[in-house]
């Protein structure tokens, strides 16, 4: 893995931890940072030793305070569209990454930061986290998936309120409306994310991967197509050693040891 200018990356016990690290700009996403995230996820897709990924923000204050406003100020319409398409492709890659991705939200998750968190599978928030889509205050709508993922997570009405007002909400409110899965004390945040990652890693890896694929696929199609896809992945699992092991372990009253095969 190469050194990145705007990211830190470490692996501990099968969990890859990505820290978006531009604390002077509250980890705002510029082109280079997005490009680095894109490259890192391409590499992780090939690296089977990393079983889950956590994304967090460097410094005390911020997860990611949005797309880099200084970089966007002079953009033309054509450049703005290209910028949104590029970031959307990176976030789609994260959303469809075959293993779980957990956002550990340590502070501001605004604009592109909230959108990055929503592209992750699970969001764990520090009590200090603040969420919002403040783009309308800048004269733009969200461009990195916010108008699509926010209503899917919290419902149309709440999403529209957040999108139209640009208001920030705290971690407790994010939890209440289903934007955050869990809220922790700031000092416990990374451990809570690691604990969640480790728990998931004791389950059947192929089953987890296919759960992710079925949820992602199913939310984009009608219910009948979604459950049809579920039947296919359900059947597929009966061709895995993990299914035999998981069920044998239950019958033999012991803990399953999965191999991901
Ligand atoms: N882009 C570029 N720089 C940013 C930034 C951003 N999104 N957010 C913060 N910064 C920079 C500030 O300019 C400041 O830099 P200087 O020290 O060089 O002046 C530094 O980070 C610290 O920020 P503040 O002094 O503003 O810190 P604060 O504690 O007073 O306020 C804040 C924190 C409320 C998060 C405030 O920084 C803020 O409102 N930031 C912008 C949030 C925002 O509007 N995000 C959405 C961006 S648009 C977007 O993301 C579009 C999309 O859908 C993709």
Q: Is the pLDDT of residue 2 over 90?
A: no
Same domain, 234 and 171: no
One domain for residues 67 and 16: yes
pLDDT per position as a tens digit, 202-213: 999 999 999 999
Number of structural domains the chain divides into:
2
Closest ligand 1 atom to Cα of 87 = 54
Q: Is the CB of 83 under 6 A from ligand 1?
A: no
Q: Is 135 in the pocket of ligand 1 (CB under 6 A)?
A: yes
Which tens digit of pLDDT belongs to each residue from 57-92? 999 999 999 999 999 999 999 999 999 999 999 999
DSSP 9-68: EEEETTEEEEEE--GGGTT-B-HHHHHHHHHHHHHHHH-TT--EEEEEESSSSEEE--B-
Domain identity same for 67 and 109: yes
Model pTM greater than 0.90?
Answer: yes
The answer to the question of residue 259 being in a domain is no
Atom of ligand 1 nearest to the CA of 133: 46
Which is it for strands 15-20 and 52-57: parallel, antiparallel or unpaired?
A: parallel
Q: Are 160 and 186 members of one domain?
A: yes
Centre of ligand 1 from the C-alpha of residue 67, in Å: 9
d(C-alpha 212, C-alpha 180), whole Å: 18
pLDDT at 60: 92
Indicate whether 260 belongs to any domain.
Answer: no
Domain that holds residue 225: 203-252
* Average pLDDT over every residue of 27-31: 98
Report the chain's mean pLDDT, rounded to a whole number.
97
Q: Are residues 89 and 212 in the same domain?
A: no
Q: Is the pLDDT of residue 171 over 80?
A: yes
28 lines ligand 1 (CB under 6 A): yes
CATH code of residue 207: 1.10.12.10
Predicted local confidence at residue 74, as pLDDT: 98
Looking at the structure, do residues 18 and 101 belong to the same domain, yes or no? yes
- Do 231 and 162 belong to one domain? no
Residue 24 CA to residue 22 CA, distance in Å, equals 6
Mean pLDDT computed over 153-182? 98
């Amino acid at each position: 893995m190469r050194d990145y200018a705007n990211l830190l990356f470490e692996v501990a016990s099968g969990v890859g931890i990505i820290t978006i690290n531009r604390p002077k700009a509250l980890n705002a996403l510029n082109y280079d940072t997005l490009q680095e995230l894109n490259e890192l996820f391409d590499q992780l897709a090939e690296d089977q030793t990393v079983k889950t990924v956590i994304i967090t923000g460097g410094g005390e204050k911020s997860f990611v305070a949005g797309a880099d406003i200084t970089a966007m100020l002079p953009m033309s319409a054509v450049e703005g569209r290209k910028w949104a398409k590029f970031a959307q492709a990176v976030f789609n890659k994260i959303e469809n990454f075959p293993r779980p991705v957990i956002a550990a939200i340590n502070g501001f998750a605004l604009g592109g930061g909230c959108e990055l968190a929503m592209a992750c599978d699970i969001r764990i928030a520090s009590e200090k986290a603040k969420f919002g889509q403040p783009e309308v205050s800048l004269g733009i709508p969200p461009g990195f998936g916010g108008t699509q993922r926010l209503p899917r997570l919290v419902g149309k009405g709440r999403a529209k309120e957040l999108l139209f007002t640009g208001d920030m909400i705290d971690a407790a409110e994010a939890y209440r409306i289903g934007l955050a899965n869990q809220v922790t004390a700031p000092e416990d945040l990374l451990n809570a994310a690691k604990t969640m990652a480790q728990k998931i890693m004791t389950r059947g890896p192929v089953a987890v991967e296919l759960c992710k694929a079925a949820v992602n696929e199913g939310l984009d199609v009608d219910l009948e197509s979604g459950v049809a896809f579920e039947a296919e992945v359900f059947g597929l699992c009966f061709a895995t050693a993990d299914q035999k092991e998981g069920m044998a372990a239950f019958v033999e009253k012991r803990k399953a040891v999965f191999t991901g095969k």
